[in-house]
Amino acid sequence: MFNILVVEDDQSLRTLFCTVLSKNGFSYFEAEDGMEAWDILEKQYIDLMICDIMMPNVDGYELVKSVRENGYNMPVLMITAKDTFEDMQMGFRLGTDDYMVKPVNVNEMILRVNALLRRAQIVNAKKILFGSIELYYDDLTIFLNGESLIIPQKEFYILYKLLSNPNKVFTKQQLMDEIWGMDTESDPHTLDVHISRIRERFKERSSFEIITIRGLGYKAVKSNA
């Protein structure tokens, strides 16, 4: 399930957007301005942001600019009453991916959200940016806080799988089948050993944690550190 952050100071409109998103199978978080949005971004993994421009404290332009400057690459759909070319140009220059003018057709909004998410998945299919860590699938390379790291192949594949789907629980069998192959004779304990090594490698210096779901498997979540 994709996480959508709705940043809109009009409560009735924010509620409408969130209701429509929920009915279409999305998980949502809501904020009434840019400051509140940052509190959520620091705690939750967000797949896409829907953002108004005219907001108190930190407006949409400032929010998008700071989001991009801090390395967040999720798609941004800007929704606003400002409909001049100059307004749209400013939004795109700062890092907006798409633009809708109020009043908004919520069915069209859902179409645009789905299109942006598909595009993002294609672009990022072989690259993951998760906070301070970047993973490049083709050459099995990791960058952590700008430092290049090479780890054993199977550890890389496990980490890539978990970070590709944050907050999703993968059973041990799912991970074993994908990483070792369905006909492997390796014991599931092998996976536990690899998970332990990954945790040790990235202990206290990464933006993620690998959580054990007792009796089931593992999931990756954003670190609170």
In sequence order, what DSSP letters do the residues of 77-95 get, joined into one string? EEEES--SHHHHHHHHHHT
Pairing of strands 27-31, 48-51: unpaired
Under 8 Å between Cβ of 158 and 195: yes
Question: Which structural domain range is residue 139 located in?
Answer: 127-222
Domain count within the chain = 2
**CATH number of the domain that 73 lies in?**
3.40.50.2300
pTM listed for this prediction = 0.56
**Model pLDDT for residues 138-176, shown as the tens digit of each residue:** 788 999 888 898 999 999 999 998 998 788 888 888 888
Q: Cα dist. 67→49, 114, 136 in Å?
A: 10, 21, 22
**Model pLDDT for residues 46-89, shown as the tens digit of each residue:** 889 999 988 888 788 889 998 888 878 889 999 888 777 787 88
Q: Which of 123, 158, 183 is the last residue of a domain?
A: 123
First to last CA, the chain: 25
Name every residue whose Cβ is closer than 8 Å to that of residue 87 and which is 6 or more positions away in sequence.
53, 80
Q: What pLDDT shows up at residue 200?
A: 93
Q: Do 205 and 136 share a structural domain?
A: yes
The span from the CA of 164 to the CA of 166, in Å, is: 6
Q: Do 108 and 152 share a structural domain?
A: no
Average pLDDT of the residues in 197-215: 89
Under 8 Å between Cβ of 134 and 72: no
Order of all β-strands in the sheet with 170-171: 170-171, 217-222, 208-213
Q: Do 116 and 9 share a structural domain?
A: yes
